[in-house]
Structure 1
Amino acid sequence: MTDRHPTADAPGTPPRSALKPTRLKPADVARVGAVGLRTRPVRAALSALGIAIGIAAMVAVVGITSSSRLDLDHRLARYGTNVLTVTPGTDFAGAEAALPDTATAMTGRIPDVEHLSATGRTKASVYRTDRVPAANTNGIAVLAARADLPATVGATFAAGSWLNSATEHGEAVVLGATAARYLGIDTASPDTRVWLGGQWFTVIGVLAPTPLAPDLDGTAFVGWSAAQQHLGFDGRMSTLYVRINPAAVDDVRTLLGRTVNPEHPNEVRVDRPSDALRVKQATNQTFTGLLLGLGAVALLVGGVGVANTMIISVLERRGEIGWRRSLGATRGQIRVQFLTEALLLSALGGAGGVVLGTAVTAGYAATQHWPVSVPAWAQATAVGSTLLIGAAAGLYPAIRAARLSPTEALAQP
């Protein structure tokens, strides 16, 4: 008989160095990782709920704040945060300059200009009746206006309507809010008339207060053609209103002077945007900081929940870990199992949190009559961040589970 080396492999078996652990396929990894969720559904559901509540809080905060900001943006847009006014400056002699007749056409060529309109000063005055002394004007100016002025400055109506293609040529007038109050007029009808420029004009509209241009509140507006025909208006514009793409306000503002009057840009005065624009910018910065802070807190709470759940899972399942190690599972496969379970738990909580947070946002926005806005980036960030934090939180429990030897794990109750 020939002696066999004590460490030699038995006949017919491959050398030990040739034995390799079986690699788990992605589908197998998912099934193994879901074992803990299937065998302990109540604990998994409660853990996922805890994560979902944290993520829902983040999504709801982002959604409600975004909806509120969207509503604020709509309100501020009506106040003209993207409207600039162009008026004549002074020439080198100190006299008031004039806007060229081509100012409107030239300004309209700027790509970021959305609306523009103009008004022109007349020398007429307006009175409630023809018996009011000429000196009692109440400071009400009479301006020639174009049909597109309300759309440009965001004007709304308390009564009646604006000048149209039919009324802008005749004896029709629209009163600003302050002018109407001074004249004691609050309705617009064929029977409501004012004495304007030595003749009767019919009041066809009364404007609500205009936050963008409060100077228009104390004004009476007549059609451009009617002013030329009945009031001796010379046709020269005194103010040009320009509504711009909000993202390009500063860029367009630098171009307006030399666009309106290329030969003498120094004779053009471009007013700064309304204070509402600065309020909007400050509000956006405040909201952004608030979102980042609250989102970070919510994600931190979710990560602590995942870590706590996975550590408890490792402690409860030492016997299972021991049996799997005894049957040939490697340390790497144990790590992958518990890491996958943490990711699945985080994914369930994250997805549920997005749905719950969106529902809360929609419900609250409906009660406030706000537009609903849940940014896609917030939903994607919520799920993605949950997975990253879940992986980080589940890494230590997974490593701890992999370090358990089969005998140690089976010896534990």
Structure 2
Amino acid sequence: MTGLSSPSRPRERRGRNRTEPSGGTGGGNTRSVRPVRLAPLDLLGLGLLGIRTRKLRAALSALGISIGIATMIVVTGIPASSQQALMAELSALGTNMLRAEPVPNEQSPVLLPEESIDMVRRVGPVTKVSAVANTHATVRRSDRIAANDFSGLTVLAAKLDLLGAVSADVASGRFFSRADERFPTAVLGSRAATRLGFGRLAPGEPAPQIYIDKRWFSVIGILEPVPLAADLDQTVLVGWPAAKELLRFKGNPTVIYVRATESRLEDVRGVLAATVFPELPGQVTVSRPSDALAAKRATQNSFSSLFIGLAGVALLVGGIGVANTMFISVLERRREIGLRRALGASRGQIRGQFLTESVALSGLGGLVGTLLGVLATVGYATYQGWPPVVPLVSVAGGCLGALVVGVAAGVYPSVRASRLTPTEALSAT
């Protein structure tokens, strides 16, 4: 029995030695030992080690990427501010305004339906609609002037929302209110006021009067020149309800002013005639879009292409600077890499260290560059009298682009560093 049992004990020991976990105190198989995984905070601290120990070089590297990001924001922000000012000037030329009126016909004048204004207002892209109508009334400075010696000015019935539709302003006095438009009140165009002998209306004094179709009308306002509707400068405007009651006006509009979304302006123009006069759309003429609209669209497209190109160049320059810095850093720190490898650091830890350092450098430069770019853009735009515009896409793209550039610039140096063997790194001079 003893002879049969004795050989089995060594086999059991050998089996236990094979199944013993490696890496224990007994000195198992060292090839299966796994390195300790670094926590994210430890990896960040390790990546920032090179920045803390080489402050001047890190500052210069961050300065390079910050100049690139600041350049990107400046070359997009300043043109965007200039573009905003230019777009405002072009919009003031009536890029989104159309004008509909009947075809001139002296023998049988075409009368637009009174409800055509409300019909145009129902068109989706239309934002503003207003109208004026010729009352065929005559106006004189006073009743002492001969009836056949009238001023040659046109008396128009006007809607309350006329000023907004034609971008007009009041020079003195006021425009019609819901109370004024029902009474014999008048608002003069700039040239009409000069021809009738009016300068400015003094506040607090009684309103001067003019004689329209043997009725006295009180002048309550004088308009500034209207560039978008120059014919209004030499007209006398009266309220729409007052014209119906006092001047035998039937309510048919003569000119309809339409404001629409610029991107849909051509579509609105295509349906405007049929909307204004469904029975006879051929008897309605519609103005074509302003040439300023084409100029505005061309300006927007050219600025967009310029922004993309300049931003790409700025990011490329910054990325090359960071990549060059990280590559030199790997060459100078070969002994440090070899020592860490000899102490058990894995290739992944070496890659993570240098990649973290690259991203940290780029992120720091991106934040500083974003701040400098925003301040420079706002300062220059304010100095030029432009509305400061800092595209949010540029700000977000600057910060995110800096991180992306940091990753791209640190990939090759970090991989190169991780491939160094301990003996190769420690033997470097």
Q: Same fold (TM over 0.5)?
A: yes
**Any residues of structure 2 matched to 1:25-36 within 5 Å, and which?**
25-36=39-50
The CA distance in 1 between the partners of 2:151 and 2:295, in whole Å, is: 36
Which residue matches 1:241?
257
Q: Does 1:52 align with 2:80?
A: no
Q: Does 1:163 align with 2:181?
A: no
**Any residues of structure 2 matched to 1:134-149 within 5 Å, and which?**
134=148, 137=151, 140-149=153-162
**Any residues of structure 2 matched to 1:4-403 within 5 Å, and which?**
12-89=26-103, 96-128=109-141, 130-131=144-145, 134=148, 137=151, 140-189=153-202, 190=206, 192-403=208-419
- What do residues 57-97 of structure 1 show as CA deviations (whole Å, max 9, x unaligned)? 21123223223333343444444322222222479x99553
Equivalent AA in structure 2 for residue 63 of structure 1 = G
Total equivalences in the alignment: 404
Equivalent AA in structure 2 for residue 344 of structure 1 = A
Equivalent AA in structure 1 for residue 87 of structure 2 = D
- Please say if residues 212 and 274 of structure 1, whose CA atoms lie closer than 8 Å, have aligned partners that are also in contact: no
- What do residues 332-383 of structure 1 show as CA deviations (whole Å, max 9, x unaligned)? 3322321221111111111222222222222233334443332222211112
Root-mean-square deviation (CA, aligned residues, Å) is 3.0
The CA distance in 1 between the partners of 2:336 and 2:397, in whole Å, is: 35
The CA distance in 2 between the partners of 1:197 and 1:42, in whole Å, is: 87
Equivalent AA in structure 2 for residue 244 of structure 1 = A
- Please say if residues 79 and 210 of structure 1, whose CA atoms lie closer than 8 Å, have aligned partners that are also in contact: no
- Please say if residues 82 and 386 of structure 2, whose CA atoms lie closer than 8 Å, have aligned partners that are also in contact: yes
Instruction: Indicate the larger mover: 336-345 or 62-71.
Output: 62-71
- Please say if residues 322 and 406 of structure 1, whose CA atoms lie closer than 8 Å, have aligned partners that are also in contact: yes
Equivalent AA in structure 1 for residue 313 of structure 2 = V
- Please say if residues 159 and 186 of structure 1, whose CA atoms lie closer than 8 Å, have aligned partners that are also in contact: no
Q: Secondary structure at the match of 1:185?
A: coil
- Segments of structure 2 that go 5 or more residues without pairing to the other structure are 1-21
Deviation at 1:108, TM superposition (A): 2.1
- What do residues 104-161 of structure 1 show as CA deviations (whole Å, max 9, x unaligned)? 22222223332211110121244455537846745x3221101110012211122222
> CA 1:41 to 1:133, structure 2 compared with 1: closer, same or farther past 3 Å?
farther
- Please say if residues 73 and 390 of structure 2, whose CA atoms lie closer than 8 Å, have aligned partners that are also in contact: yes
Which residue matches 2:8?
none
- Taking structure 2 as the reference length, the TM-score comes to 0.84
The CA distance in 1 between the partners of 2:390 and 2:336, in whole Å, is: 43
Q: Percent identity?
A: 47
Q: Secondary structure at the match of 2:339?
A: helix
- What do residues 186-212 of structure 1 show as CA deviations (whole Å, max 9, x unaligned)? 312545444444444333222222222
Which residue matches 2:3?
none
Instruction: Indicate the larger mover: 68-77 or 218-227.
Output: 68-77
- Please say if residues 129 and 257 of structure 2, whose CA atoms lie closer than 8 Å, have aligned partners that are also in contact: yes
- Please say if residues 351 and 417 of structure 2, whose CA atoms lie closer than 8 Å, have aligned partners that are also in contact: yes
The CA distance in 1 between the partners of 2:191 and 2:313, in whole Å, is: 50
> CA 1:310 to 1:157, structure 2 compared with 1: closer, same or farther past 3 Å?
same
The CA distance in 1 between the partners of 2:173 and 2:291, in whole Å, is: 29
CA radius of gyration, larger in: 2
- Segments of structure 1 that go 5 or more residues without pairing to the other structure are 1-8
> CA 1:194 to 1:274, structure 2 compared with 1: closer, same or farther past 3 Å?
farther
